[in-house]
Amino acid sequence: MKTLLPTSTAGSLPKPLWLAQPETLWSPWKLQNEELIAGKQDALRLSLDDQLHAGIDIVSDGEQTRQHFVTTFIEHLNGVDFEKREVVKIRNRYDASVPTVVGAVERQKPVFVDDARYLRQLTKQPIKWALPGPMTMIDTLYDAHYKSREKLAWEFAKILNQEAKELEAAGVDIIQFDEPAFNVFFDEVNDWGIAALERAVEGLKCETAVHICYGYGIKANTDWKKTLGSEWRQYEEAFPKLQQSTIDIISLECHNSRVPMDLLALIRGKKVMVGAIDVATSAIETAEEVADTLRKALQFVDADKLYPSTNCGMAPLARQVAAGKLNALSAGAEIIRRELLAK
């Protein structure tokens, strides 16, 4: 990226209300069959337009074609039975009824590659594409086949690598893996989580990112955050090994968060997507509030490696709120660009 402080979002954006129930996770589609396919494409185009209109530099599909950032990818794989459900605790936080792994997992055909090609032909801006990370995938399933979290994660990493290579060939510039589970299972992260992530990016020539956050602004997450105390030091566990990893960019939650900013020093040398927009509130940040978070991050991240972004996806927010937050992100980044260029 030649642009100074290129802006992006963590991934998801709200869907139009004719496509899915607004402000809801796992929202059911309102269209079917051919109408659904056409509707998703139209929504993707609108989402891109919103990003371009707000001046976002690295654009995405806004995750308009998926119901959920983890489930939709898994639905396309063999070996997982969505009818056979078990209740498990997701990220040690809340009970959910999840599908069961009943046999060898495999990807028979590409999941998002057509969508990526469609986005590519709509814009010349750099494109970032989000995929779920291996550890976060295994954490939303009941495994009755491999009976090993590590083994299942490794199988998913190989599948993700196939998908990522095809996304790269479709013209995606940055492939991002969402790993909120990295903030919970510290021993596993260091034992095999980062290794599995590196397996997922093996052989890629495009840039790669990992997004680690404290989740969407839903109740289970905001309740969990209340138990974490005055300083959130979860990132400290994974950062040393991530700093040594082959991943190019690390995407983090920073704004309105209790993460001590000096933890960013542990990943010095990596590009950092700094969350400067809080997704857990409908209050729209001012440009100055965004700028303030970026200024704090600049104490620990070199200016040419700072990528202003959002704390997490904005799918559960109202559309006009998300649009306001995109504008605030652009305006806040512009304040800091001017400050840096004036030096």
Query: Rounded to the nearest 5 degrees, what angle is found at the Cα of 327, between the Cα atoms of 325 and 331?
Result: 115
Select 112 or 142, whichever has its Cβ closest to Zn ion: 112
CB of 271 to Zn ion, least distance (A): 17
CB of 287 to Zn ion, least distance (A): 23
- Determine the distance from the C-alpha atom of residue 213 to the mean position of all C-alpha atoms in its chain, rounded to a whole number: 8
CB of 215 to Zn ion, least distance (A): 6
Select 100 or 309, whichever has its Cβ closest to Zn ion: 309
CB of 2 to Zn ion, least distance (A): 27
What one-character DSSP code corresponds to residue 182? G
CA–CA gap between residue 52 and residue 48 (Å, rounded): 6
Select 9 or 125, whichever has its Cβ closest to Zn ion: 9
- Which residues sit opposite 307 in a β-bridge? 273
CB of 180 to Zn ion, least distance (A): 6
Query: Rounded to the nearest 5 degrees, what angle is found at the Cα of 167, between the Cα atoms of 162 and 172?
Result: 145
- Which residues sit opposite 97 in a β-bridge? 87
Select 41 or 309, whichever has its Cβ closest to Zn ion: 309
CB of 11 to Zn ion, least distance (A): 7
CB 60 within 8 A of CB 46: no
* Single-letter amino acid, residue 53: H
How far, in Å, are 31, 59, 95 from residue 34 at the CA level? 8, 26, 35
CB of 213 to Zn ion, least distance (A): 3
Alpha helices, DSSP H only, in the chain?
33-53, 71-75, 113-122, 134-138, 149-169, 186-188, 194-200, 219-226, 235-243, 287-298, 319-342
Select 111 or 213, whichever has its Cβ closest to Zn ion: 213
Residue whose tokens read 């269209």: 31
Select 13 or 312, whichever has its Cβ closest to Zn ion: 312
Select 101 or 297, whichever has its Cβ closest to Zn ion: 297
Residues binding Zn ion (CB under 5 A): 213, 312
Label the pairing between strands 128-132 and 174-178.
Answer: parallel
Select 312 or 329, whichever has its Cβ closest to Zn ion: 312
Structure tokens at 160: 């993700």
How far, in Å, are 138, 147, 259, 301 from residue 70 at the CA level? 10, 20, 25, 30
CB of 69 to Zn ion, least distance (A): 8
